[in-house]
Amino acid sequence: MRRTLLCAALPLFLALAACGGDDETPDENSVEEVDGEAAAGPDEDEAAAAAQAVAEGFLASFAAGDGEAGCAFVDESAQAAIIAQGGGAEDCAEAFPEYVANVPGADAIEIGEVTVSTDLDGDALIANVELVHAEESPGALEVRQGNDGEWRATRLPGTTLGGA
């Protein structure tokens, strides 16, 4: 009889022990502090992954010389900056090859560190993708999520304009 009571009480005890403790459940979008520094939450991780994908696609278009693809990875203001460097080109895709030719080390740029921060208001996430080359300093890509939900580069290496 005692054995039956103990066996029956054990699951109840385990269930109560599992339910005990802090009644608050953490918000999945909250940022936890680890060793005095904020740890990346889901939003920051998603922004970093999106920026990485934009950078990979953008750099692949560099290597292929594909203006249509390259311009699809940048927003309208960055496209205007590419066109401004295009020597009379009428659209981004037409100006893209000349833009690439003017970026230092465009032939061998790799993706470096991706850092995520917010805009000045603290409302929108911005990802900065460091671009790395063994002999040149190509700069970085700034990537943001647009009103349409798509992530695009807003600032490009080798341009004086093209930012939000």
Domain hosting residue 145, numbered range: 40-155
113's enclosing H/E stretch is strand 110-118
Mean per-residue pLDDT for 11-25? 41
Q: What is the dihedral of CA 137, 73, 29, 31, to 10 degrees?
A: 0
pLDDT of residue 122 exceeding 50: yes
Query: In this prediction, what percent of the chain has a pLDDT beyond 70?
Result: 71
DSSP assigned state of 39: P
Q: Tell me, yes or no, whether 59 lies in a domain.
A: yes
pLDDT in tens, 50-108: 999 999 999 999 888 899 999 999 999 999 999 998 788 999 999 999 999 888 777 78
54: in domain: yes
Q: From CA 163, how far away is CA 127, in angstroms rounded?
A: 13
Residue 151 belongs to a domain: yes
pTM, two decimal places:
0.68
- The total of other beta-carbon atoms located within 10 Å of residue 19's CB is 8
Quickly state the pLDDT bin for 41 (edges 50, 70, 90).
Answer: low
CATH of the domain at 46: 3.10.450
Joined together, the tokens standing for residue 108 give 């061998």
